[in-house]
Each structure stands twice: as structure tokens, then as C-alpha cells.
Chain A
């Protein structure tokens, strides 16, 4: 199925087909004062481990970042997932993906609600893998399923975004690092598709666990710089055991003189990572050094607490669930002694 159709209807069709019934619903208690963006806040631990790549020695060369003369089309993709509650059979969660192309009407797919249980997690997970052209895989454990489903749906949206531009830049959130969440094959296919349309992929991580040998995070390399600049991290400086996870050129970049430095992984045609960064600088605006388009994609994807509560109401209504009182043992045992009180 073509990616856009899948995002628009296909995913929900699969969800409906393999939906499991439930009768009781334990809502997750949100403090309702935060927005939810699972990409960062509830990311899986294994991702964190894989990103934790100590560098053997300090990279030194800092290069000024000039704006390219050529303006290129840019499209940004971001996704978010939120677990809404538990049933006696599994987890109810919602996912949303945003695709924002410069100068065009943004497209938002979701929120789509799904009920994932041990009996349908495989079907759901492999349907997404199939859409990405990947073979069947072992389904994730239930508690990690919402995040994995979101990650795969995001990859599908990235493929769709690739078709929206040519000779342009695809802005992703995160790093070009493969993990259990994102199989290497999926990334490699994405690179190939981008190359076919002469697009560069720039993945920007707001937080990076890539550290220098002395333990400092790599964005610190440019924190004292007062100009737009970048610093390429040679792959050979990364521990050999970790090198295999990194699939693009790794930069620390400061797009604007007063902005923050970010880790940027780039996969550009003919290895032109630095050139892609120059084009990106020329082609989009930045807020605190972070691409505005990616901010918009993030803003359209994340879940506000109001949406979380609305989705919980929808879950109860759609599945005819009876809400059962939540019981947080931590609150009951540790509440009076400084434990979390919701």
C-alpha cells in the first residue's frame, strides 16, 4: 500500500481488524500539567544504551557554518505515542505522526487509538514491518509495544515525506542509529529511497548520549562558540563496538550564533554532510538554533494532557469499558514519605 494511504486509512484498518475486546479499563493517571512526547520522555532504555557511545578522544576541528546559496525544499517528520491505560488484556495507546513540508499545508495522521494485547501485538507489529518491506519479526514485549508501533509508523511517514521533495532535505527527530526500535534494514531502505530522489536526511537530536572520553556530552564541544559552526565527529573516534550502530555522518552543529548546539546525523548523497547542513541553514528558519519546521512537526505530534484525557474518554466509549479505580502501590506505600502523589 502506498505510504500516504497507509497513514490515512491502512493503519486504522489493521487496528480494527485485529482489535481485541476488553471490559475493564484502568486509566493511567496523568498529572495533566505536562505534554506527552514519548519520543524523549518515555523512550525505551535500550535506545539510550545504544546511543551511549563514548568517544576515544576529543575531535578538534570546528568549522564555520555558512548558508548555502541554493535554497532547497525541506520536510520534517515527527511522531508521538501515549499510553492511555491498561485493560485486563493489554494496553490502550494512541499514536500521531506529523509531516510538515515548507510552504505546504501540514499533514497530521492521528491520533489513532489502538488496543494492543499479547494476542494481537504480533499481527499489528508485523503489519507495520510489512508496510516497510521488512520481514516478519519477533513482536516486542507488551509494555514496549506502543513505542515500537510509533517508531515504525514514523518510518512510514518518513518514507512518505521523502516522496514530497526532490533534491531537498528530510528532517528527522533523533539520530541515525539503529536499534531494536528501528531495525537497521528500515534505515538502510530509507537512505536508499532518499538517495533515489537526491534528498539528504538530517536527523537532529535534542539530547545525545554520545559522550567524549572525558564524559562530557558532545554538544558541549560547541557551547563556547559564538558563531554558526559545526564539528564533525569522525566515526573512527567512536568505540569500535559501537561504531556499527551509527549509520550516518555525525556532527555537532550550531545553526545560529546564539542558538544551542545539537547533534546532527546526516546521510547525504555522496557524503556531503556538511553541504547538507549549509543547505538546511539556508532553507529554513531556526528557533534557538533548532529548525522551525521540526518544531512545528513536534508541536503537531505531541499530546497535550487535554488530548490524553479526551482519548481516555474515547477509549471508554469505544470499547464500552468500565473504568476501574487506579491503584498505585508507590503512592500508597511511599506517599507519606516523599513518594509521588498523583
Chain B
């Protein structure tokens, strides 16, 4: 491996893939021989070297496709293959290496340019992460390096806004589960909005027995074992649900008046009580419109009058999950109105409980899969900006990062980037800290499945390339398929 050129923050390396295999995302240490100084660069693009004269060689081999009987020097073929297959690696300089008393230290890059006769060597990502992060006080395994060594970051650095983005089937939910379990190990609490029923198996081992997380992962399905009392839901969430059902503003105003009257009366606030009050509305078209929406909400089964079957988050977090754990809310197959009521109720309750000090601030993490399905842009921004102050940390997991509002992306503290193809998606994730458009473009498209780049506060803005790691628990949902083989 040799250094060829440096332009700006990019260096071009020449390497023989047979002798020193490099992949996109790999870290390369470039150390000047005598200067006790160097840079840490990361491979963002790899390709066959454009050797002068290679065109003639390739054209000849294409033109003379019919095989010939060749009698030649035995070793020549191998040597020739080495030259033909010589590669370039375009790398971005990420850090500067300073050697003091024989110890290497990583610092922010000062613009130093390593000499051409520098010594180049591939750096093991796991070791690199250790060097960058140090020994975390609250270790959370996020994946493993090429050698299979587990890679840890500190839960401390996940206290913020985190994005996990990647194409379907690349492993982003797997990483979300890995992080979730790591947080639970550190006694954190979490709420998971599970849109594909992928988290319900975490309480079980792959073989079927109970995992160590059994009892720490509570699965709730709206309308089945997740029901709220109407008062618990609150007027704002109720109105949001009616808006989602496209109830006109005038009718919503009627409902708000009814709600307030009922709240001030001795009568219990129930759907039936609201329905009775609606019957008294004079304008029949308003009455009919409201009644139709109320029926839709009733049919979701989320609202209950029975306090025994109603769910209270403060109870779940305060008792069953008091030593850490996750509340998995299965949104698979739920109508939009259900999703809105559930998600918004949970979020507003969490906000309220955190404000009142009934839940421990900074201990709860939200994992939201494909949040654009159940959060409007305004609500989403609200969640991000307000909740951070209350210590409600968030993970957004999506295969469509272009749907994440720009403001949110720019505030993200960490990005777990899996393979992405679409220009819009790549441009959006490129706005996260530690990432740039060129790196995002070249990296996102070349990441193989189950491989990701982690960048942000957790890695001191160095994009570390890692692979997902096996968890030993059931990580897949239970989708029944008619066709069992491809």
C-alpha cells in the first residue's frame, strides 16, 4: 500500500487487494517514517487503478476472447493479475496521529500532509473505536469489527437524537435491537414504536426459551392489551385523532366544547358520554360527521372505561420495568387513527410524567420505526425539541431518511448509516454531524448488507465501519408467508 496523492482532505492510496484487502469504511493509518506524525484516513471509494496502457490490455483480452494454447513463463500470469487488479483507495483524512513517547494519540486534523514514503497500515475498527471512545463506563455493544470483535460505545453518548438509516433488509432494525438491549443492560428504559412487529421476540432466545430479557420487554398491542381511559388520552390527542379522521374544524370545536363541559361535570369522561352529548347537537350534518368519527375511534378498541384493563405508563415504568426494560408497542396492521392515538398518548403522557417528575428524567429512550407514518412534521419537531430538554432520548429508524425533517437530521447526535441508494436519502443523511456529502455518497452506496457506519458523538465524529452482531435472542417478527421458498 502506497500513498500516491493528497488533495484537500482526500488522499489516494494504491494497493494490491490480494495482499492488503481494503473495503469502503476501513481505516488506514498513514505514518511519516521519521516525523512522529501522521494521519488517520478512511476509505470512501475503491476501484481498479486506471493504469496507463490498461485500455490496450483490456481491449486485447476482449477482442481475443477465443482461448489460445499458451506456453509461457509459469509465474507470469500471477504477476500480471496483480498489476491488472491493482486498486486505488480514495480516503478522507479524519484525524491526525501524534506520537509522543512511543504512544499514538488521535487529535483533530491540522491540515498536515503525510510524505509519500509514509508507512501505511490498515487499522482494526474495533481497536480504533477503543482508541477513540476509550473504556466506556456504560458500555453498549453496537456491532463487531471485521475480526469479529465486539465494538462498544458508551450509553452516555446515546443520550440525544440518534438516526438509524438504511435500505430495507440491510440490518438497521437489528442494530436498533442491539442498542436497545445494551441500554436495558445499563438499566435504561425504552418505548419502542414497532411498526413491523420485530421486537416482540426479544424476550425469547432463538431456540424458543426465555431470554434474559424476558420480563424486561413488555409487548403491547393497541386494542388488545393496550387500552387507555379517555381522560388519560387527553383532549389534545383526541383532537389530533379526529383531525386525522378529517373531521371539519367546526365539528372539532363542538367536540372541544363537549369535552370541556364533561370535564367540569361530575360525569365520567367516556366515549359514551361524548356520544350522548353529540346527540343533542342541532345541526344534523355536524352531528352525523362527529358520530361517524367517534365510531371509528371506538372500533379501534383503544379507549376503555374500565380502569382495570387500562394501561398507565407510570405504573409500567415504575413497577414492572423499574430495573430497566422496554415497552414495545406493536403498531403492525393498526389503522392510522390507532397509531396516532397510541403514539401521541404515549408521548404526551411521557412528557407530562417527566415534567411532574413521576418518571426519571434522562432514563427513557424512544425507538421509533418509520416515524413519518404516525408523526406529522410539526409533532415530530415538537417531540425532538421539547423532549430533549426533558431527557427523553430518541432513536429514529427508517428506510426513507428523506422523510426525516432537515431540522431533525441536523440536530442528530449519532448516525448509524446502512446501505442507501437514492440520492435524496443520501443527501439527507449527509447533513448529520461528522458526515459529509462525498463520504455519504460514496459510502452509503457501497456498504454491504449487515454493515454500517457509525458516526457522531459516540465516535468523536469518526465514521467507524462495523458489522451487525448476533444477539442470541429472537430478532425477527412472526410474519406468516404463504410461499416459503424463493
A interface residues (Cβ-Cβ under 8 A, vs B): 7-9, 30-35, 96, 98, 105-113, 296, 299-300, 304-307, 309-311, 313-314, 317-318
Cα–Cα distance between A76 and B76 once the two chains are bound (Å): 25
Among all A-B residue pairs, the 4 with the closest Cβ atoms:
A305-B53, A32-B52, A106-B68, A304-B57
- With A31-B52, A32-B52, A314-B75 known as contacts, the answer to whether A300 contacts B57 (CB < 8 A) is no
B265 at the interface (CB under 8 A from A): no
Q: Are B60 and A108 in touch, CB under 8 angstroms?
A: no
Q: Are A111 and B68 in touch, CB under 8 angstroms?
A: no
Q: Are B83 and A310 in touch, CB under 8 angstroms?
A: yes
Can you identify 25 A-B contacts, CB atoms within 8 angstroms? A7-B71, A30-B53, A32-B52, A32-B53, A35-B53, A105-B66, A105-B68, A108-B68, A109-B72, A110-B73, A112-B73, A299-B63, A300-B68, A304-B53, A304-B60, A305-B53, A306-B53, A306-B80, A310-B79, A310-B80, A310-B83, A311-B73, A311-B79, A313-B83, A314-B75
Q: Are B68 and A306 in touch, CB under 8 angstroms?
A: no
What's the nearest-Cβ distance from chain B to residue A35, in Å?
A: 5
Cα–Cα distance between A307 and B84 once the two chains are bound (Å): 9
B69 at the interface (CB under 8 A from A): yes
* Chain A residues within an 8 Å CB radius of B82: 310, 313
Cα–Cα distance between A300 and B69 once the two chains are bound (Å): 11
Q: Are A305 and B51 in touch, CB under 8 angstroms?
A: yes
B307 at the interface (CB under 8 A from A): no
Cα–Cα distance between A8 and B73 once the two chains are bound (Å): 11
* Chain B residues within an 8 Å CB radius of A305: 51-54, 56-57
B67 at the interface (CB under 8 A from A): yes
Chain B residue nearest in CB terms to A8: B71
Q: Are B64 and A307 in touch, CB under 8 angstroms?
A: no
Q: Are B72 and A296 in touch, CB under 8 angstroms?
A: no
* Chain A residues within an 8 Å CB radius of B84: 306
Q: Are A112 and B72 in touch, CB under 8 angstroms?
A: yes
Cα–Cα distance between A304 and B63 once the two chains are bound (Å): 14
B70 at the interface (CB under 8 A from A): yes
Contact of B80 among A30, A300, A307 (CB under 8 A): A307
Q: Are B73 and A307 in touch, CB under 8 angstroms?
A: no
Q: Are B71 and A33 in touch, CB under 8 angstroms?
A: no
Chain A residue nearest in CB terms to B80: A310
B interface residues (Cβ-Cβ under 8 A, vs A): 51-54, 56-57, 60, 63-64, 66-73, 75-76, 79-80, 82-84
* Chain B residues within an 8 Å CB radius of A299: 60, 63-64
Cα–Cα distance between A164 and B70 once the two chains are bound (Å): 17
Beyond A112-B72, A313-B83: 14 further Cβ-contacts under 8 Å?
Answer: A8-B71, A33-B52, A96-B72, A98-B68, A106-B68, A107-B69, A107-B70, A110-B73, A113-B73, A305-B52, A305-B56, A307-B80, A310-B76, A314-B76
Q: Are B73 and A309 in touch, CB under 8 angstroms?
A: no
Q: Are A33 and B53 in touch, CB under 8 angstroms?
A: yes
* Chain A residues within an 8 Å CB radius of B53: 30, 32-35, 304-306
Q: Are A314 and B64 in touch, CB under 8 angstroms?
A: no
* Chain A residues within an 8 Å CB radius of B69: 105-108
Cα–Cα distance between A340 and B82 once the two chains are bound (Å): 29
Cα–Cα distance between A304 and B60 once the two chains are bound (Å): 9
* Chain B residues within an 8 Å CB radius of A311: 73, 76, 79
Chain B residue nearest in CB terms to A98: B68
Q: Are B71 and A109 in touch, CB under 8 angstroms?
A: yes
* Chain A residues within an 8 Å CB radius of B66: 105-106
What's the nearest-Cβ distance from chain B to residue A27, in Å?
A: 14
Cα–Cα distance between A9 and B71 once the two chains are bound (Å): 9
* Chain A residues within an 8 Å CB radius of B71: 7-9, 107-110
Contact of B76 among A32, A33, A111, A296 (CB under 8 A): A111
Q: Are B60 and A111 in touch, CB under 8 angstroms?
A: no
- With A296-B64, A300-B64 known as contacts, the answer to whether A314 contacts B57 (CB < 8 A) is no
Chain A residue nearest in CB terms to B81: A310
Q: Are B51 and A32 in touch, CB under 8 angstroms?
A: yes
Cα–Cα distance between A226 and B29 once the two chains are bound (Å): 65
* Chain A residues within an 8 Å CB radius of B54: 305-306
Cα–Cα distance between A70 and B179 once the two chains are bound (Å): 80
Max chain A Cβ within 10 angstroms of own Cβ: one of B53, B63, B73, B79? B53
* Chain B residues within an 8 Å CB radius of A306: 51, 53-54, 57, 80, 83-84
Cα–Cα distance between A305 and B83 once the two chains are bound (Å): 10
Cα–Cα distance between A34 and B63 once the two chains are bound (Å): 17
Q: Are B72 and A111 in touch, CB under 8 angstroms?
A: yes
What's the nearest-Cβ distance from chain A to residue B452, in Å?
A: 37
* Chain A residues within an 8 Å CB radius of B68: 98, 105-108, 300
Cα–Cα distance between A98 and B70 once the two chains are bound (Å): 9
Q: Are B56 and A313 in touch, CB under 8 angstroms?
A: no
Cα–Cα distance between A8 and B71 once the two chains are bound (Å): 6
What's the nearest-Cβ distance from chain A to residue B19, in Å?
A: 13
Max chain A Cβ within 10 angstroms of own Cβ: one of B51, B75, B80? B80
Cα–Cα distance between A266 and B326 once the two chains are bound (Å): 91
Cα–Cα distance between A108 and B66 once the two chains are bound (Å): 13
What's the nearest-Cβ distance from chain A to residue B63, in Å?
A: 6
* Chain A residues within an 8 Å CB radius of B70: 107-108
Q: Are B73 and A314 in touch, CB under 8 angstroms?
A: yes
* Chain B residues within an 8 Å CB radius of A9: 71
What's the nearest-Cβ distance from chain B to residue A160, in Å?
A: 12
Cα–Cα distance between A300 and B52 once the two chains are bound (Å): 20
- With A109-B71, A299-B64 known as contacts, the answer to whether A304 contacts B79 (CB < 8 A) is no
Chain B residue nearest in CB terms to A309: B83
Chain B residue nearest in CB terms to A304: B57
* Chain A residues within an 8 Å CB radius of B76: 111, 307, 310-311, 314
